Amino acid sequence: MNEITSKLVHKPFSTKVGSRTIRVVLLLLVALAIALLVRGLTVRFISAHLSDPAWFQSNTYAVFDKRAREMLDGKSSIFWIDNPAETDAAIYPPGYPLWIAFIYKLSGERSAASVQRVQWLLDSFSVLLIVGIGVTAYNWSAGLASGLLAALSPLLALYGATPMADAPASWIVLVSVWMLLWAVKRESPGWTVAAGLTTGASCWLRANALLLPLCWALVLLLLMRVSWRRKAEFSGLLVLGMALVVTPLLIRNAVIFRVLTPTGLGVGTNLWEGIGETDRAAEFGAVYGDKALMEQERSTLMLAPDAPFSLYYPEGVRRDRERARKALGVILLHPLWYMGVMTRRTFGMLKYAGTPAPYMGSAGINITSSKCLPVSLQRTPAGLGSDFLGMAQSVLRWLILPLALYGAYLSFRVDRLLSGLIFATVLYYLITLSAMHSELRYGLPMHALLLVWAGLASIYLPKVVLSSVSNLKPQKT
C-alpha cells in the first residue's frame, strides 16, 4: 500500500468541534443546496412534460394511481387481491400504490404533481446516503466528494424529480448497502439482519433487488476474514432478513395467482420485449412496446377490437409465462448472439454522455435557463447560475465512468471486502438488467454507487498526479 492509498484507510471522525468539523458541515450544506437546486430546476422541466410519454410514463403511473385511489376509497385491500381474475392488479408490488395513497391523504390532492413535490425533496436529501456510504467505506473526503457528484448528477436528478417508484426503491437499497458496510466493519449481526430487512422492503416498491442479498452473501463467504461458521452466520442472517420481508408477497401471489415472485408478473414481458428491441426481432416474431405486444396478442387470440384487453388482463399470468417461454426458447437456441445483446445493453446502461442508447431511456437533462426557467428569469443571475450548473453536469457526464473505474481500482487496493460488496451490487444490476429489456432508471442504486467510486477517485487522482510530477523534477545534488 503506497502513501496515497494508505490515506484511504478509514479513521474515526472526532466529535470535537473544530475547523475540520465546520468544513464538513459546510460541504454537506453545499451538497444539499446543489441537490435542491438541480432537482428543483429539473422538476420544472418534468412538470412541463408530464403529458409527454417520452419523459413521463403516464400509463404506468395510472396503474399505481388507480390502486392508490381504490385503497383510499375502501374499494380494495391494501395488501390482498380478492379476485384472482384481476391479474393486472399484480403487475407491481403494493408498496408504491400505498406510498402514493399516503401522499394523497396528507396533501389532499390526488395527482402526480403532489407525489412529485414530495419525492424530489426527499431525493435531494438522499445524497446524504451516498455521503454515508463513502464515509463508511473510505473517509470523509471521499464521502463528501461522492455527495457533491450525486447532487449534480443529471441521471439521479431526472428520476428523483419523476413521480415513479424508481427513486424511492433506490433510497431503500442505498440504506441497505450502507447498513451492510457498517455491519461488516463492526462485525455486527444486528446490522446484517437490518441490511437484509431493508433490501426486502425495497422489493415492495420494485423487485429488482430480489436476489441481491444472495450476491452479498457470496461475497461475505469468500472475503470476510472470520471463521467459516461466522461467515455462514452473517450470510444466513442477511438472506433471512430479506426473506422475512418478502415472504408475505410470495405467499400472497402463490395463493392467488400461483406464481412465486413479489410482483407476480412482468418477467416474461420484459424478456419478450427485450427480444423485440433487437435487430432480429422480425425473425423471431417478437415486437417491442406494450401497445405493439397487446395488438399482437389480441390478434393471436382472435378477440374483438372492443373486448376488454390489456397487457395483463385477461389471463395475465398465463400470457406472461407464454412470453417468457418464447423468449427463453430464442435465447437457448442462440446463446452467443444473446450474450452479444447483453453486452451491448451493459454498455448502454453506462452511457452517460452523448446520444442515449436505444430503449434505455434518458440519462437526464443538463439544466439550462431556457429549459427550466420562465422567460422573465432567463437573463438574470438565476439564469446564469442554472446555465453554470448545466455546464458542470455536461462535464460530469464524461468524467463519471473513467473516475469510477479508477476509484474501483483504489478501493480494491485498500479493502477487498467492502469493495467486493459494492462491486457485487454494481455487477448484479448490470447482469440482471442486461438479461432483458431494461431502462436506466431500473438501476439507480448502481449509478449512485458508481458515483461513490468516482468521488473517491476525484479526491485522490490529483494527489497521484502531483506526486508523479514531483518525482519527475530533477533532484538537487
224 by DSSP, 3-state: which? coil
Instruction: From 439, 451, 414, select the one nearest 1 (Cα to Cα).
Output: 414
Residue 45 has a pLDDT of 95
Residue 105: pLDDT over 60: yes
State how far the alpha carbon of 112 is from the alpha carbons of 49, 124, 169, in Å: 12, 18, 17
Residue 150: pLDDT over 70: yes
**Residue bearing cell 462485525:** 187
Residue 13 has a pLDDT of 45
Stretch 194-211: mean pLDDT: 95
Q: Which helix (H) or strand (E) element contains residue 271?
A: helix 267-276
Average pLDDT, the chain: 91
- The burial of 462, by beta-carbon neighbours within 10 Å (0-12 exposed, 13-18 middle, 19 or more buried), is given as exposed
Give 419-433 pLDDT, tens digit per residue: 999 999 999 999 999
Stretch 319-344: mean pLDDT: 95
Q: Are 369 and 383 in contact (CB under 8 A)?
A: yes
Instruction: From 453, 457, 454, 431, select the one nearest 442 (Cα to Cα).
Output: 431
Q: Which of 80-84, 205-209, 344-348, 469-473 has the lowest mean pLDDT?
A: 469-473
Residue 438: pLDDT over 80: yes
**Distance separating alpha carbons of residues 158 and 361, to the nearest angstrom:** 11
Residue 15 has a pLDDT of 46
Stretch 39-63: mean pLDDT: 92
* 260 vs 293, more confident: 293
Residue 92 has a pLDDT of 85
Give 169-187 pLDDT, tens digit per residue: 999 999 999 999 999 999 9
* 120 vs 466, more confident: 120
- The burial of 370, by beta-carbon neighbours within 10 Å (0-12 exposed, 13-18 middle, 19 or more buried), is given as exposed
Task: Return the percent helix, strand and coil in the chain, to nearest 5.
Answer: 70, 0, 30
Q: Where are the extended beta strands (E) located within 5-76?
A: none
One-letter identity of residue 375? V
Residue 76: pLDDT over 90: no
Give 248-289 pLDDT, tens digit per residue: 998 888 888 877 776 657 889 999 999 999 999 999 999 998
Residue 471 has a pLDDT of 64
Q: Residue 209 has what DSSP assignment? A: G
Stretch 192-218: mean pLDDT: 96
**Distance separating alpha carbons of residues 64 and 166, to the nearest angstrom:** 13
- Report DSSP letters for 162-201, one per residue: S-SSHHHHHHHHHHHHHHHHHHHHHT-HHHHHHHHHHHHH
Q: Are 450 and 399 in contact (CB under 8 A)?
A: no
Tell me the torsion sign for CA atoms 39, 43, 44, 45.
positive
Q: Residue 310 has what DSSP assignment? A: B
**Distance separating alpha carbons of residues 162 and 45, to the nearest angstrom:** 10
Residue 199: pLDDT over 60: yes
Residue 264 has a pLDDT of 57
Residue 12: pLDDT over 60: no
Q: Are 367 and 42 in contact (CB under 8 A)?
A: yes
C-alpha cell at 471: 518525482
Q: Residue 357 has what DSSP assignment? A: P
* Percent of the chain with pLDDT strictly greater than 70: 93
Stretch 89-100: mean pLDDT: 90
Q: CB 375: neighbour CB atoms within 10 A?
A: 9
Give 304-321 pLDDT, tens digit per residue: 888 888 888 888 888 999
One-letter identity of residue 181? L
* 237 vs 470, more confident: 237
Q: What is the largest CA-CA distance in the chain?
A: 93
What backbone phi and psi angles, to 5 degrees, belong to 174?
-65, -35
Q: Residue 208 has what DSSP assignment? A: G
One-letter identity of residue 92? Y
C-alpha cell at 353: 454522455
Residue 469 has a pLDDT of 66
**Distance separating alpha carbons of residues 140 and 397, to the nearest angstrom:** 24
Residue 14: pLDDT over 50: no
